[in-house]
Amino acid sequence: AQKITQTQPGMFVQEKEAVTLDCTYDTSDPSYGLFWYKQPSSGEMIFLIYQGSYDQQNATEGRYSLNFQKARKSANLVISASQLGDSAMYFCAMRGFNDYKLSFGAGTTVTVRA
């Protein structure tokens, strides 16, 4: 079974600044994938970034980057140059090898201030 922990219930960030969202995980699977999703108030889950457990480099997608530290079992999301439209709930999720479901953390609410 996989367990995802997001310890920050809510965060405030100033526009144009960077913010780091914490995510730690626990799994016994040797191969797994880590995902970050954004959920605006409308409810739809928007895929942001993926990191495979055997990927040598940290994943980046535009303003999103994933700080993957396998030994520490952490997969923190960094959002650079925050925009007002980044205000949303952010979820860290993982899926094990041959696992057909995503296990989600509790989420972190990010509020970007002008």
Partner 1 sequence: KAGVTQTPRYLIKTRGQQVTLSCSPISGHRSVSWYQQTPGQGLQFLFEYFSETQRNKGNFPGRFSGRQFSNSRSEMNVSTLELGDSALYLCASSLDPGTNNEQFFGPGTRLTVL
Q: How far apart are CA 16 and CA 19, in angstroms?
A: 10
Terminus-to-terminus CA distance in the chain, angstroms?
A: 41
- In three-state secondary structure terms, 45 is coil
Report the residue from 9, 85, 100, 114 that binds partner 1 according to the rule CB under 8 A: 100
Beta carbon of residue 98, minimum distance to partner 1 (angstroms, whole number): 8
Do residues 79 and 21 make contact, with C-beta atoms less than 8 angstroms apart? yes
Q: Does 96 bind partner 1 (CB under 8 A)?
A: yes
Residue 25 Cβ vs partner 1, minimum distance, rounded to whole Å: 14
Position among 43, 56, 57, 85 found at the interface with partner 1 (CB under 8 A)? 43
Shortest distance, position 80 Cβ to partner 1, whole Å: 21
User: Nearer to partner 1 by C-beta: 19 or 105?
Assistant: 105
Tell whether residue 104 is a contact of partner 1 (CB under 8 A).
yes
Structure token pair of residue 50? 């993926």
Residues numbered 45 to 74 that lie near partner 1 (CB under 8 A) are 45-47, 50, 52-53
Q: Which stretch binds partner 1 (CB under 8 A): 9-17, 19-27, 43-51, 74-82?
A: 43-51
> By the 8 A CB rule, do 35 and 49 touch?
yes
CA atoms of 65 and 59, how far apart (whole Å) = 6
Please identify which residue in the block is written with the tokens 């040797």.
Answer: 30
